[in-house]
Amino acid sequence: MTHVQSSALGYPRIGEKREWKKSLERFWKGNQTEEVLRTELKELRLKNLQKQKDLGLDWIPVGDFSYYDHVLDTAVMFGLIPERFKQKDQSLLQTYFDIARGNETAVASEMTKWFNTNYHYIVPEIDTEPKLLENRPLYYFNEAKDELGIIGKPVLLGPITFLKLAKGYEDYDAFLDHLVPLYIDVLKELAEAGAEWVQIDEPILCTTLEDKELAYFEKVYKKITREVPDLKLLLQTYFESIDYYEQVISLPVEGIGIDFIYDEGNHINALEKHGFPEGKTLAAGIIDGRNVWKNDLNHSLETIDTLRKHIKDEQLILQPSCSLLHVPVTTETEEKLAPELKNALAFADQKIEEVALLKKGVNEGREAIASAIDKQQSTWKQFKQVTGRTNPIVQEELSAWSGKQPSRALPFAERQKLQEETFQLPLLPTTTIGSLPQTTDIRKARASFRKGEWTPEKYEAFIEERTAAWIHHQEALGLDVLVHGEFERNDMVEYFGEKLDGFTFTQFAWVQSYGSRCVKPPIIYGDVAWKAPMTIKESAFAQSLTNKPVKGMLTGPVTILNWSFVRNDIEPAEVTTQIALALKKELSALEENGIRMLQVDEPALREGLPLKKEKQQSYLDDAVYAFKLATSGVKNDTQVHTHMCYSEFGEIIDTIDQLDADVISIEAARSHGELIADFETFGYDKEIGLGVYDIHSPRIPSILEMEQSITRALKVLKARQFWVNPDCGLKTRTKEEVLPALNHMVEAAKNVRAKQTTVSKR
């Protein structure tokens, strides 16, 4: 009798208590050797594999583990190391980290969003011929086999997606011809080692492609399967539906992985219309790999029943919709969540359990899992009755705004004149993005307060002391616009979620954002509502210490949405509008308390952009509406700032303009030239700061280097428009890194300002 099987596409790297992050950071600080790092991460990797085996997976992914980023892994594996990082006197692992983080002499490679997720990858730079330096999937395959007896499913980023994410090449076809033989070498070695299946990820298939781009897949995979006939390839897609279903299922591979969660029903429709090839394997993503809610088992079983009408059981694999990299590890460690909320959640381990449960229900009949289905139905019934799921006041406010379009009272050109009179800033004003270094003692103080070991009075005094110290530092540096530093904030989204209705929080539900940077997204389970002032005390205190303007700092509605795990019973746009209405009240309160520069950060605006071009405008329109709803009520001489990062801005520059923010600051240090070109063609007329140095690297750029960045921008932007700032918040950097870097930045601004003044006098 043949059976349906189970699999996963990938598993979280970080460990239940972020062991991965802590080990990496000890190594980077020089507190442990590379050998110890490798040993610790191997132990974690094997633990993760054993857990997946114990949870009942048939196909266990190997090679999905990374020391930093899987795209960077692929680049280094194929010898695509930028020339500036080629050093003979260090290990390949150290070179790998240098590419990601930079070093004293070289700027780190660009970092940007992984499709429409909150994960960031290192953009491969192609300035050399590829060559195979190491077969990473083979190493991890052999490790799993030798250490645990697991014949794993190696995971490899596909060549077409890899090249589409890279930059620096001129001839796509020629470089692909160089790269594919190296993929073939990797796959041949895997086949010789005993691998039966290899998962090759090609998520680019879920974007809008041209016919020529689609033709690459036929060419590449025909060559691979001809050269490696003894290895079965599973071509894996995720995050959206495939527009080219007939062509993709006909590709010369043994299996196709398809997302049945985020496809909006398109894949079922395509299957019913076109069928599925006899003898091929369908890896069906029927568990949500990106959100944290328990699966609707009945709905999934109905989907599986539909699939089984068109394919045989031996052709079917059940799995999550994408890698579980995007969700926390386990709910087992969450001891403080209310039971009715915790019982509604499923993190990575629970999602694998759900896959195993569905497999059992298919192979043994629904009656075999009837009790689990009944228990789930009871769980959802209790969850729907949780206080706060529906807030009548919020619903009334939504109705009041229905059909209305928010906007500032005056156009930007008139506001700009009023703001210039109000603030009297010099040409090329200097500022920072918002957060300042979160040192160990700040984190300890916050933890002591949360545990009740510190009184509110003691904690508040500590925060005020740090704020005052950094106001002094900023004044001494000569910055023109100051920030209070956000020392009271653990995270730019979690902090606000804790003060708004409709959110709940976890202890250990961390996910990787970039490198060792992990975030703990709040969970939106009900209507979002403003309860009381969230930022007034700290902002007003900081402003009382200086005559210079201090920016009030809020996280924007789209970013709060995109960096949270969001309820799935209403449309995301409605949740965003609820958040915007709450922030609107906070901005009014800040203004009433004398804060006249208000920064509403939207670093995640672009990451939520749908992969399909036909869906993008609707999303962008909703984003503009929410931002303007939050900010439109302030006075004309109040200056609204926003900040964005990790984005291909050329794609959304019109939307950026429509936000109607008075000043926008943009992460640009790793991709300065490309971004300047975008503004050159668009003709942006509002004020803007293009980040002049990369805060994600510990490297401190020279004054001259920053001057060159400013001067380059002024070839496109008017001096009256331009602000000088780092490219992102300084939370993750040390005081010893921040002070000299900001000093260089201020000096660079002064030098360029003096040149501008001299030119204007002539």
Which residues are annotated as part of the binding site for 5-methyltetrahydropteroyltri-L-glutamate? 18-21, 113, 118, 517-518, 563, 607
Show the tokens assigned to 226: 């001809």
Of the chain, the percentage scoring pLDDT greater than 90 comes to 83
Reduced to 3 states, what is the DSSP secondary structure of residue 485? Answer: strand
- pLDDT value at residue 732: 87
Calculate the average pLDDT of the chain: 93
Give me the active site residues, please.
Answer: 696
Q: Region 551-570: what's the mean pLDDT?
A: 95
- pLDDT value at residue 670: 56
Reply yes or no on whether the pLDDT at 674 is more than 70: no
pLDDT greater at residue 762 or residue 50: 50
Across 634-694, the runs of DSSP E, i.e. the strands, are 639-644, 663-666, 687-690
Which residues are annotated as part of the binding site for Zn(2+)? 643, 645, 667, 728
Amino acid at 457: E
Show the tokens assigned to 702: 């020279």
Reply yes or no on whether the pLDDT at 342 is more than 60: yes
Q: How far apart are CA 668 and CA 86, in angstroms?
A: 24
Q: Which fold has domain 418-494+539-554+596-761?
A: TIM Barrel (3.20.20)
- pLDDT value at residue 228: 97
Q: What confidence tens digit (pLDDT) does each residue in 177-212 have?
A: 999 999 999 999 999 999 999 999 999 999 999 888
pTM of the model: 0.90
pLDDT greater at residue 190 or residue 732: 190
Q: Region 350-366: what's the mean pLDDT?
A: 96
Q: Region 692-717: what's the mean pLDDT?
A: 88
Reply yes or no on whether the pLDDT at 142 is more than 80: yes
Q: What confidence tens digit (pLDDT) does each residue in 497-519 have?
A: 999 999 999 999 999 999 999 99
- Angular region, 495: left φ>0, alpha ψ -120 to 50, beta rest: alpha
Q: Which residues pair with 722 in a beta bridge?
A: 688
Q: How far apart are CA 37 and CA 346, in angstroms?
A: 30
Q: What confidence tens digit (pLDDT) does each residue in 468-478 have?
A: 999 999 999 99
Q: How far apart are CA 158 and CA 178, in angstroms?
A: 14
Q: How confident is the model at residue 646 (pLDDT cuts 50, 70, 90)?
A: low
Q: What confidence tens digit (pLDDT) does each residue in 247-304 have?
A: 999 999 999 999 999 999 999 999 999 999 999 999 999 999 999 999 999 999 999 9
Which residues are annotated as part of the binding site for L-methionine? 433-435, 486, 601
Reply yes or no on whether the pLDDT at 79 is more than 70: yes
Q: How confident is the model at residue 672 (pLDDT cuts 50, 70, 90)?
A: low
Please tell me the CATH code under which domain 5-68+124-384 is placed: 3.20.20.210
Contacts of 166 (CB under 8 A, 6+ apart): 75, 80, 123, 124, 125, 126
Which residues are annotated as part of the binding site? 18-21, 113, 118, 433-435, 486, 517-518, 563, 601, 607, 643, 645, 667, 728
Helix axes 735-761, 456-477, angle to 10 degrees: 40
Domain with CATH 3.20.20.210 in the chain: 5-68+124-384, 418-494+539-554+596-761
- pLDDT value at residue 761: 37
Reduced to 3 states, what is the DSSP secondary structure of residue 305? Answer: helix
Show the tokens assigned to 604: 């995640």
Q: What confidence tens digit (pLDDT) does each residue in 91-107 have?
A: 999 999 999 999 988 88
Q: How far apart are CA 122 and CA 68, in angstroms?
A: 9
Reduced to 3 states, what is the DSSP secondary structure of residue 471? Answer: helix
Question: What DSSP line would sit under 542-582, residue for residue?
Answer: HHHT-SS-EEEEEE-HHHHHHTSEE-SSS-HHHHHHHHHHH
Reply yes or no on whether the pLDDT at 554 is more than 80: yes
- In degrees, rounded to 5, the angle at the alpha carbon of residue 596 between the alpha carbons of residues 558 and 459 is 75
Count of H-run helices and E-run strands, the chain: 27, 22
Rg of the chain, C-alpha, whole Å: 26
Reply yes or no on whether the pLDDT at 683 is more than 80: no
Q: How confident is the model at residue 444 (pLDDT cuts 50, 70, 90)?
A: very high
Reply yes or no on whether the pLDDT at 760 is more than 70: no
Q: Which residues pair with 530 in a beta bridge?
A: 500
Encode 233-247: b = buried (16+ Cβ within 10 Å), e = exposed.
bbbbbbbbbbbbbeb
- pLDDT value at residue 671: 55
**CB atoms near residue 319 (< 10 Å):** 32
- pLDDT value at residue 1: 45
- pLDDT value at residue 491: 84
Q: Which residues pair with 641 in a beta bridge?
A: 599, 663
Which residues are annotated as part of the binding site for L-homocysteine? 433-435, 486, 601
- pLDDT value at residue 669: 60
pLDDT greater at residue 282 or residue 712: 282
CB-CB contact of 675 with 638 (8 Å) = no
Q: How confident is the model at residue 762 (pLDDT cuts 50, 70, 90)?
A: very low
Strand order in 523-530's β-sheet?
500-504, 523-530, 565-566
Q: How far apart are CA 706 and CA 751, in angstroms?
A: 10
Q: How far apart are CA 335 and CA 338, in angstroms?
A: 9
Handedness of CA 683, 687, 693, 698 (dihedral sign): negative
Burial class (CB in 10 A: 0-12, 13-18, 19+), 452: exposed
